[in-house]
A and B are shown apart, each in its own frame.
Chain A
Amino acid sequence: MSASPFDGILSLLIRQRGVLGCLVVGEADGIIVDSNVQVGIQANVVAALAAALYRKARLTSAAAGLSTIGFLQLEAEKGHICAIGRDGLVLVTLAEPRAHIGRIRGAMLESLSVLA
């Protein structure tokens, strides 16, 4: 079985401290393309909702004349959801509150070229 083209970026992200999971998701359908998540995370649910959230945010940004989204971060009581997208794919990362968001953001932005 050949490796997924997203193995590299998912491995890079999951090794970051405090990262609970990362997923490559289709923006239009919310279906997982590839993922690496810890046991207990409902990956399908997270993928569908995060893709919908990213899509709405992208449309909102465009409607407000703010052009494309660079990086989307949702800060919750027990962690973070980060997302970036390109060419119909969204890279989603789930992280604990203790995670270093700056590093995760950098890794995600570096990975953006792989999504194309």
Chain B
Amino acid sequence: MRTHVAEPWIEAPLQTFVDDAGALFALLLHPNGQVMGQFGFTRAVDVMAACALAAAIHASAGELGRELDGKPFREMYHAGKNRQIFIGDVPTTRHRFVFLTVFDAESSLGLVRIYFQELCALLENAQPPALPQTPISAASLEQDLNRNLAILFGRAPRDSNGSESSISLA
């Protein structure tokens, strides 16, 4: 299974992580919940839900860290019965991402942390120049969220005239 990405420069680092760490799922997203790349998911609705939850967890953990320690928590880990989840902050010089991965007993937290650091370095080296930021509105945010989901799952965005856009998530 291959990774699916919204921007080509993300593909190689993400695929390297998945191959090396033996991850079951991987998700790279903006802190606002916009997906940038994924591995392992088969439905857009699952990616959308995972992105929303990961962004919320990341934001909550960040604030909790600031309250407790004066700085945001950068990594979080939860061990389930069969699967484990790791969420980390990916700070590059021009972009900021959140990374989520799910793995089982075939991998380990130690391995995931090693290859996560490698992923951060690969993304740092691969990133293109930053584009000028445009103000984010509710409409443009939804368009961006849906555009990347559509790219990942091989669907073109339904409209291009700026009206409310959505893709079928069924």
Contacts and interface: CB of A to CB of B under 8 A. Distances in A.
A107 B4 CA distance: 50
B109 interface: yes
Interface residues of A, number: 14
B1 interface: no
Interface stretch (A5-13, A14-22, A41-49, A67-75): A41-49
Interface in A26-44: 26, 28-31, 44
B110 interface: yes
Interface size class of B (residues with CB under 8 A): under 10
A28 B104 CA distance: 10
B68 interface: no
Interface string B102-123: 0001011111011000000000
The CB with the most chain A CB atoms within 10 A, among B108, B109, B114, is that of: B108
Contact of B114 (A25, A44, A55): A44
B108 A51 contact: yes
A48 B105 contact: no
A45 B108 CA distance: 12
A26 B107 CA distance: 13
Nearest to B115: A48
B108 A29 contact: yes
Q: What 4 pairs between A and B have smallest CB-CB spacing?
A: A30-B110, A48-B110, A30-B108, A29-B109
